[in-house]
């Protein structure tokens, strides 16, 4: 009997060890060559082989991947940050989402998505953590630059094209952050109070389109709460909307550190906790499954979704291997340049100062803090390390005529770009010995005795996702540095403290910087007068919570000298171009902008240059609107370039010099002042709560309703040529579901080839519930040679006329009169006509 058992068991063991020892071959044996079997069948077969412990273990990540189960041949699902490129080593830096949306070019964004997808594969990763589709509700939102603007329809079209592009390369896209992550202030816990109608009508459409049209494979839940429930355990969002109403079959993961419970999360819709299974693990869930508190079928559903994505990506047959040849290819650089060029918005062109006439211009002043630096993107998890980048100054030097002289001056400095204070100015407290006393604590609160104390030479640390020392905490630590500072020159200084996360700076025992909060990499500053050779007592305290860790203490002189040099450069030039804007120190994940002004002394710089040279052009490089009223009338030309990726400089230079005709249109409204925006009076007015009582009236919908004139309206953008709209015809198409066809003629009546984004809005003349004055429903980008014309056709159906009715918990279109509004912006309507919905 024993011999018989051995004869049976030995062949089984041989097969088993062959399986474990050659997992790639085993995966092929198990799951390849199964043409008659569906993915569902393969998943079900594998699920039956898994223990409950293995299933639970799969619900928590390992940083940027899921856990492999080698004995079953289950691979890792490897992820990388996005959405502006692959944040895994160095790669192509593509234009920010706001610049993508400014192109209004869905086919081009599909190509961009495919290029990023190819680079994900080239890095040996499987999942891109993008796109970001959160609505730009407040203009100072820290992550507005990552997203596609303020309108749910434009947002949806960009999202679907981007996702389809990424996934065409056999890489999973991840639409994020679900939902209402429209501010970074208190994002980790703020409760968004929002009614059902604006939630479904404004903030969810892009997610819905991503699922139903884009077939997105992954969704990421947000940090914040919605109506009292954290998004990672919010049944209305995750179950009712995402998995039931929209029938999402893919993988739903948390944002990093966004899970707050074990049992409610496990019972809810979330499938995967990232970056690790802090709450979803054996110790928290196994007993609850065994005693029936949590059904194993609930765990199974989560595992099925994870495995399904792996099968759809073909990872059981072949995993993605690193291939440097796929990174920053010539084609990718061309796509990055084209998106950057199409996304640039010409906001003002008085007396046709643009494009610059090189035959008449012999000298040009290139001025500003964004001239010599390529501001490829904002800060945080979307920030890409580009293989190369081109600044505007560098591009102009290459593209201008050789006999055109460039007079360059920085003018002012932006935060985060000062130099670390050199070691020779630091002294240990009360001594003549160089150094700083550093006390390192394994907690965030500087409590108890330090784990170790050492003498540091300077404060300029970037530990990434690591810690200050081997064996020391990688997260959840704090440091106190004490020292004397002895400058060698008397004068005004600005102390800059860059950090991720909290900092406190004391000067002679006085607290002068206090930002003891979690945030992404940002810079805090303090202006002080120092005497040469005098010792100033300094204490700098810092803590790290989670994620990346960095801290730097720098100084700089105020901008008086730089400012003076800029004015002199403008005086001796035929034309002056001032490169202004923000940077990743001002627009980033983890915090919102403090205000909408150009940071530093840039407003004053523009006005000073304008006094010195009447031919002034301002180029704004930012991720969201800036206020311009204090200087706009003193300028002749204004361009908004956005954070435009690695080719930013070439794109700007091509537009300035007329090599490219600008065609970008604003995906957000530029206000004249913050007080004019819908969220003013609602943002930061309650601790831990933000009230979305502005409802559906966000962006241009609010400006229309309140009859407020914006600085520049949604959809606005000038060209070097002119377009004529005429001969609108409306035709009812009879079918089961009624449709209407709108045909008109667009003609280029200027002297240059150009592209126009034609925009179709609808207005419900009479409705049972308040509706916006107009809502974007269609758009088309049309390119025409001078003198040429083209028929443009828009087709709308009953769904396009619908609004969300909270009484019915569904969309409805009421019979009655509607207006079709066609124009070049939301405030520049060229053609309009009425039509009826009778059924």
Instruction: Determine whether 704 is an active site residue.
Output: no
What tokens appear for 733 in the block? 């198409």
Helix (H) or strand (E) holding 821: strand 816-825
What tokens appear for 258 in the block? 């966004």
Which residue, 621, 824, 822, 637, is CA-closest to 715?
824
Cα Dmax for the chain: 103
What tokens appear for 326 in the block? 């796929």
Q: Is the peptide bond before 177 cis (omega within 30 degrees of 0)?
A: yes
Query: What span, in angstroms and rounded, lies between the C-alpha atoms of 678 and 624?
Result: 16
Which residue, 759, 763, 778, is CA-closest to 714?
759
Q: Would you say how long the chain is, in residues?
A: 839
Query: What span, in angstroms and rounded, lies between the C-alpha atoms of 377 and 97?
Result: 10
Task: Answer yes or no: are the C-beta atoms of 392 and 370 closer than 8 Å.
Answer: yes
| Residue entry with tokens 């933000």 | 690
Q: Where are the alpha helices (DSSP H) in 217-319?
A: 235, 263-267, 282-290, 296-312
Neighbours of 562 (CB within 10 A): 19
What tokens appear for 433 in the block? 């010995």
Contacts of 755 (CB under 8 A, 6+ apart): 342, 661, 663, 719, 781, 782, 783, 784
Which residue, 661, 680, 652, 623, is CA-closest to 751?
661
What tokens appear for 642 in the block? 């956005």
Query: What span, in angstroms and rounded, lies between the C-alpha atoms of 497 and 416?
Result: 8
Query: What span, in angstroms and rounded, lies between the C-alpha atoms of 374 and 646?
Result: 7
- Among 151, 255, 559, 603, the one annotated catalytic: 255
Which residue, 91, 71, 74, 75, is CA-closest to 83?
91
Neighbours of 693 (CB within 10 A): 14
User: Three-state DSSP class for 24?
Assistant: helix
Contacts of 710 (CB under 8 A, 6+ apart): 669, 670, 671, 672, 676, 700, 703, 827
Cβ burial, residue 736 (10 Å; 0-12/13-18/19+)? exposed
Which residue, 325, 323, 269, is CA-closest to 301?
269
Backbone angles phi, psi at 158, to 5 degrees: -65, -45
Which residue, 333, 348, 352, is CA-closest to 635?
348
Give the relative orientation of helices 23-31 and 2-21 as an angle to the nearest 10 degrees: 100
Task: Answer yes or no: are the C-beta atoms of 75 and 314 closer than 8 Å.
Answer: no
* Cα→Cα distances 677→199, 224, 344, Å: 18, 22, 24
Residue 598: half-sphere exposure toward Cβ, Cα within 13 Å:
27
Backbone angles phi, psi at 316, to 5 degrees: -80, -20
Task: Answer yes or no: are the C-beta atoms of 803 and 766 closer than 8 Å.
Answer: no
Cβ burial, residue 834 (10 Å; 0-12/13-18/19+)? exposed
User: Three-state DSSP class for 693?
Assistant: coil
Query: What span, in angstroms and rounded, lies between the C-alpha atoms of 176 and 181?
Result: 9
Residue 654 CA to its chain's centroid (Å): 25
By annotation, the residues acting in catalysis are 255
């Amino acid at each position: 009997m024993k011999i018989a058992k051995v004869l049976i068991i030995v062949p089984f063991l041989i097969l088993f060890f062959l399986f474990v020892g050659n997992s790639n071959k085993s995966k092929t044996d198990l799951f390849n060559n199964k043409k008659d079997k569906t993915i569902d069948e393969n998943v079900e077969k594998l699920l039956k082989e898994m223990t409950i412990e293995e299933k639970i273990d799969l619900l928590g990540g390992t940083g940027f991947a899921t856990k492999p189960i080698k004995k079953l041949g289950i691979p890792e699902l490897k992820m990388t940050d996005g959405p502006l490129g692959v944040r895994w080593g160095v790669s192509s830096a593509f234009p920010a989402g706001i610049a993508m949306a400014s192109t209004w070019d869905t086919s081009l964004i599909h190509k961009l998505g495919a290029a990023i997808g190819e680079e994900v594969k080239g890095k040996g990763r499987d999942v891109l953590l993008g796109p970001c589709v959160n609505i730009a509700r407040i203009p100072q939102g820290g992550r507005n630059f990552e997203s596609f603007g303020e309108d749910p329809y434009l947002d949806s079209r960009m999202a679907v094209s981007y996702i389809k592009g990424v996934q065409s390369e056999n890489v999973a896209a991840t639409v994020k952050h679900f939902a209402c992550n429209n501010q970074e202030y208190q994002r980790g816990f703020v409760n968004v109070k929002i009614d059902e109608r604006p939630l479904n009508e404004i903030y969810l459409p892009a997610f819905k389109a991503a699922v139903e049209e884009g077939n997105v494979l992954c969704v990421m839940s947000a940090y914040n709460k919605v109506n009292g429930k954290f998004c990672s355990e919010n049944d209305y969002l995750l179950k009712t909307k995402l998995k039931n109403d929209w029938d999402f079959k893919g993988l739903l993961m948390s944002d990093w550190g966004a899970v707050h419970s074990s049992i409610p999360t496990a019972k809810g819709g979330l499938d995967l906790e990232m970056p690790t299974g802090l709450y979803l693990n054996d110790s928290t869930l196994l007993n609850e499954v065994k005693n029936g508190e949590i059904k194993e079928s609930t765990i199974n559903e989560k595992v099925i979704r994870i495995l399904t994505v792996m099968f759809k990506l073909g990872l059981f047959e072949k995993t993605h291997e690193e291939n440097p040849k796929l990174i920053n290819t010539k084609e990718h650089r061309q796509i990055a340049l084209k998106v950057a060029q199409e996304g640039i918005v010409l906001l003002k062109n008085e007396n046709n100062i643009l494009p610059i006439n090189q035959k008449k211009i012999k000298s040009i002043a290139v001025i500003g803090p964004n001239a010599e630096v390529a501001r490829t993107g904002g800060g945080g998890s979307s920030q890409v390390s580009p293989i190369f980048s081109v600044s505007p100054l560098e591009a102009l030097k290459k593209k201008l005529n050789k006999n055109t002289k460039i007079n360059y001056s920085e003018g002012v400095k932006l935060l985060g770009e000062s130099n670390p204070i050199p070691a020779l100015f630091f002294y240990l407290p009360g001594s003549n010995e160089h150094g700083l006393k550093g006390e390192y604590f394994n907690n965030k609160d500087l409590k108890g005795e330090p784990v170790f104390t050492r003498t540091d030479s300077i404060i300029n640390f970037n530990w990434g996702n690591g810690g200050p020392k081997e064996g020391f905490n990688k997260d959840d630590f704090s440091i106190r540095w004490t020292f004397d500072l002895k400058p060698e020159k008397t004068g005004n200084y600005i102390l800059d403290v860059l950090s991720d996360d909290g900092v406190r700076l004391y000067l002679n025992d006085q607290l002068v910087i206090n930002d003891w909060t979690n945030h992404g990499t940002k810079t805090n500053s303090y202006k002080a007068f120092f005497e040469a050779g005098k010792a100033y007592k300094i204490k700098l305290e810092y803590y790290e919570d989670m994620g990346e860790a960095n801290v730097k203490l720098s100084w700089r002189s105020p901008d008086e000298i730089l400012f003076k040099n800029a004015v002199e450069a403008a005086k001796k030039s035929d034309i002056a171009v001032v490169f202004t804007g923000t940077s990743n120190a001002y627009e980033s994940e983890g915090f919102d902008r403090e205000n909408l002004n150009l940071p530093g002394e840039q407003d004053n710089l523009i006005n000073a240059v304008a006094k010195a040279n009447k031919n002034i052009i301002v180029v704004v490089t930012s991720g969201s609107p800036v206020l311009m009223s204090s200087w706009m009338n003193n300028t002749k030309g204004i361009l908004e370039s956005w954070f435009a990726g690695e080719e930013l400089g070439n794109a700007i230079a091509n537009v300035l010099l007329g090599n490219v005709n600008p065609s970008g249109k604003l995906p957000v409204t530029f206000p004249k002042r913050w007080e004019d925006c819908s969220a003013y009076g609602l943002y930061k007015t309650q601790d831990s709560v933000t009230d979305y009582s502005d409802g559906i009236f966000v962006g241009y919908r609010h400006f229309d309703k309140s009859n407020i004139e914006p600085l520049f309206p949604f959809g606005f953008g000038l060209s070097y040529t002119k377009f004529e709209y005429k001969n609108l015809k409306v035709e009812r198409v009879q079918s089961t579901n009624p449709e209407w066809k709108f045909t008109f003629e667009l003609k280029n009546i200027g002297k240059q080839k150009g592209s126009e984004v034609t925009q179709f809005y609808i207005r419900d003349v009479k409705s049972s519930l308040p509706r916006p004055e107009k809502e974007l429903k269609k758009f088309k980008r049309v390119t025409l040679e001078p003198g040429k014309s083209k028929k443009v056709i828009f087709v709308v159906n009953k769904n396009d006329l619908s609004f969300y009715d909270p009484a019915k918990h569904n969309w409805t279109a009421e019979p009655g009169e509607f207006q079709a509004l066609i124009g070049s912006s939301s405030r520049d309507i060229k053609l309009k006509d009425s039509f009826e919905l009778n059924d």
